[in-house]
Amino acid sequence: MPSLTIPQVRGLATWSFGMVMTRSSSITEIARFIADINDEKANTVECRLKEWYKEKSAKKRKNRRELDVTSCFGPLLKWVISLFPKETTHLPFALDATNIKDKFTALTINVFYKGCAIPVAWKIGNRGEKGSWKPIWESLLGSLQSIISPTIQVIVSSDRGLYADWLYDLIREVGWHPFLRINHQGSFRLSGESNWKPLTTVVPKVGTCWAGEVVCFKTNPIQATLLARWDDGYKDPWLILTDFSPVEGHCEWYGTRCWIECGYRENKSDGWLWQNTRMRDPLRADRHW
């Protein structure tokens, strides 16, 4: 993290070590743990920990600085990529939005790795806050755009609740490949044809699959490749819009999407216990994340 100052590095290291050892993001619990190791007062450690996420105006020391969390996204992604084999040609990414109780909504870009999802860029806002998510995704994608070699194909998935035609375009603008799941409501037509058909007819029953170039949706139409598959045990089929050709793209790639649930367990019930946070300031939550 070359953009961090030495005090910021110490703060990040203390938080990270404390969270790993206590399996919690509770400042009280971590402060007690670190205080026992260093033979300090817990209140002293807690003050240092708060310096990590406080805004500049709330800090008491001289030469106060405020952490720009976005400056860490690129180095964090480089670190995660270093875990992959050197011969890697494809990287699976996912965009997601998750609510933390009634407090926050976190928009995240995640890298899938060995059954888990690692957040590498995020923005936290107040839950229910009005406004478009477009500039947020634009900023997050832009912060990572130049980090990955153009020889590596980045496949960016999202669930049905996040689909938007502008999001499809944003992903392509940074040189990555959208792999966006859509609802089966709506219509499509084959490229070069004029007849519209319901999306429910693409794979009408379990055990069927299909791929082809289409124009999807009468309102806000988008030209893309539609990959469809309905496997046994699933309530609904997978309908994926991508810019891969029907021969290059494979609907099965979307199967890694379930790994994001493992990431949630790391952040919530199995580890970080982030759902219990008492924070209310989304900017402080950004830095804490």
Q: Check residue 23 and give its pLDDT.
A: 87
- By the 10 Å C-beta count (0-12 exposed, 13-18 middle, 19+ buried), 268 is classed as middle
Q: Check residue 269 and give its pLDDT.
A: 67
Q: Check residue 211 and give its pLDDT.
A: 96
Q: Check residue 64 and give its pLDDT.
A: 74
Residue 276 included in any domain = no
Segment (H or E) for 118: strand 116-126
Q: Which residues of the chain have pLDDT under 50?
A: none
Q: Give the range of the structural domain holding residue 27, as residue numbers without chain letter.
A: 1-67
Q: Does 149 lie in the same domain as 23? A: no
For 144, phi and psi rounded to 5 degrees? Answer: -110, -5
Q: Does 2 lie in the same domain as 86? A: no
Q: Does 165 lie in the same domain as 25? A: no
Q: Check residue 44 and give its pLDDT.
A: 93
Q: Check residue 175 and give its pLDDT.
A: 94
Segment (H or E) for 184: none
In a 13 Å sphere around the CA of 107, the CA atoms on its Cβ side amount to 17
pLDDT tens profile 217-246: 999 999 999 999 999 999 999 999 999 999
Q: Does 38 lie in the same domain as 162? A: no
What is the number of domains present in the chain?
2
Q: Does 95 lie in the same domain as 2? A: no
- The structure's pTM equals 0.91
Q: Does 61 lie in the same domain as 88? A: no
